[in-house]
Chains A and B, each alone.
Chain A
Amino acid sequence: GENVEQHPSTLSVQEGDSAVIKCTYSDSASNYFPWYKQELGKRPQLIIDIRSNVGEKKDQRIAVTLNKTAKHFSLHITETQPEDSAVYFCAASVTGTYKYIFGTGTRLKVLA
């Protein structure tokens, strides 16, 4: 069945450093890849997304890259700040359905 693998499960970085979270997906026809940030006790919130016809998208300090051939996509956060500390989830759309498969999450800690 469809699957999304996400790595690493935890990530600690010093404030100001960059953080990279990687995901792989199994459905080669997936065409939409969102990233969510979930703070403790809160809802997952969409922070950036990318479609399969684009290789990279950037929004201020966050960027997402997509490699369709390898079925990889990654989230890049530059100049990390303590408020970036949260759990981040990647997801991929499932072809022919309306649903999304989520990765298992990455707990990011930004150390001041």
Chain B
Amino acid sequence: DAGVIQSPRHEVTEMGQEVTLRCKPISGHNSLFWYRQTMMRGLELLIYFNNNVPIDDSGMPEDRFSAKMPNASFSTLKIQPSEPRDSAVYFCASSLGDGEKLFFGSGTQLSVL
């Protein structure tokens, strides 16, 4: 298996633009997580899905952020409109389920100018 696949690897955009980050979890994994990493706040859990259903989105910073998982092999994280403070590395991760090993994708480095 190729592991968790994220795209794009890097995204540079201007304030106010829409940004869409994509993730393909490891095949067979039931749980998918979106994390944001910054120097100041470390690794923050934004939202996670189990069996394609959003379970906890309490970490989503505000209404500008939304996430979907239309099927077991694809998820998106959208920011609209983007702001400079959204600049961070966004990681997607997946696992088999509760208390199972968590595997991270390579991340998307987002820069909002």
Contact = CB atoms under 8 A, between A and B. Distances in A.
B57 to A, nearest CB: 11
Given A43-B104, A43-B107, A44-B91, A98 B98 contact: yes
Contact of B48 (A89, A91, A99): A99
A3 to B, nearest CB: 12
A45 interface: yes
Interface of A is mostly: strand
User: Chain B interface residue count: which class?
Assistant: 20 to 34
B98 A93 contact: yes
Interface residues of A, number: 23
B67 to A, nearest CB: 14
Nearest to A44: B104
23 contacts: A34-B101, A34-B102, A43-B91, A43-B105, A43-B106, A44-B43, A44-B104, A46-B102, A46-B103, A49-B101, A93-B98, A97-B55, A98-B31, A98-B48, A98-B55, A98-B98, A99-B33, A99-B45, A100-B45, A101-B45, A102-B42, A105-B42, A105-B43
Interface of A: 31-32, 34, 36, 42-46, 49, 51, 89, 91, 93, 97-105
